[in-house]
Amino acid sequence: MTENKELPIIEIKNVSMCFNLAKEKTDTMKEYFLKLIKGKLHYDEFYALKNIDIKINRGESVALIGVNGCGKSTLLKLIAGVYYPTSGEIIKRGTIAPLIELGAGFDGDLTARENVYLNGAVLGYNRKFMDEHFKEIMDFAELWDFVDVPVKNFSSGMMARLGFSIATIVTADILIVDEILAVGDFMFQEKCHKKMEEMLDKGTTLLFVSHDEKQVLDICNRAIFINSGEIKLDGKPITVLSEYKNFMENVKY
């Protein structure tokens, strides 16, 4: 069945995400299971997202803006399929390249070379495809000097280089980037931004979390301000950023 290209590439319908936070500490797994069996485990419900409704069209570049802990990363993980919503529905009409957590999907004891193939397999690429693109990945990451070094010895910037290079080896329909580029050096950030712009020119939809106002204005044509798990404003980046700055100026710590 051919996908209707006029439909939103992502539809988030009345989505909420609730986490159960343990009220008391359990020091061992034995203690945890004993309390579980006896019904003595008590939780507080925490809603990271509340009744979220968003439609994202193909080719849009959307920034998610808000303070740490507001629900941005949770929303990205729901879209990527890392989490499933407590309620509501998420519809995705395209392939996803997620860059959500630094080092996610990497095995620290494996080398960069081995992790490239491991991540490729997770993304659904066969050995032949990875053989054909391995040089391209390492050239972009600029990590040839460390190709056979276990990634547990990598800096956060090196991890970001490798992760971005693998995730963008093909032009996915949806690219999700969650602040991972903030740990890279300036020159590599510029290289990544150019790559993202190339993908946008080819029709990729971008979901982007960043606290860098310039990055948001340069890359995105839409921004969504989230606070305490709810959408406060959805519109042009310059307007949303202005509202966010006004909000931050009035926050009392």
Q: What is the pLDDT of residues 96-134, one digit of tens each?
A: 888 876 666 789 899 999 999 998 888 788 999 999 999
Domain coverage including residue 123 = 103-171
Q: Which of 56, 53, 54, 51 is nearest to 86 (CA)?
A: 51
For residues 118 and 110, is the Cβ–Cβ distance under 8 A?
yes
- 88 and 109, same domain (yes or no): no
- 87 and 5, same domain (yes or no): yes
- In tens, the pLDDT along 13-57 reads 999 999 876 656 665 666 655 665 666 655 667 889 999 999 999
The structure's pTM equals 0.81
- 52 and 7, same domain (yes or no): yes
- 185 and 166, same domain (yes or no): no
Identify the domain boundary among 155, 171, 187: 171
- 17 and 87, same domain (yes or no): yes
- 7 and 83, same domain (yes or no): yes
Number of domains composing the chain: 2
* CB neighbourhood size of 73 (10 A): 19
How far apart are the C-alpha atoms of 104 and 186, rounded to whole Å?
Answer: 22
- 80 and 180, same domain (yes or no): yes
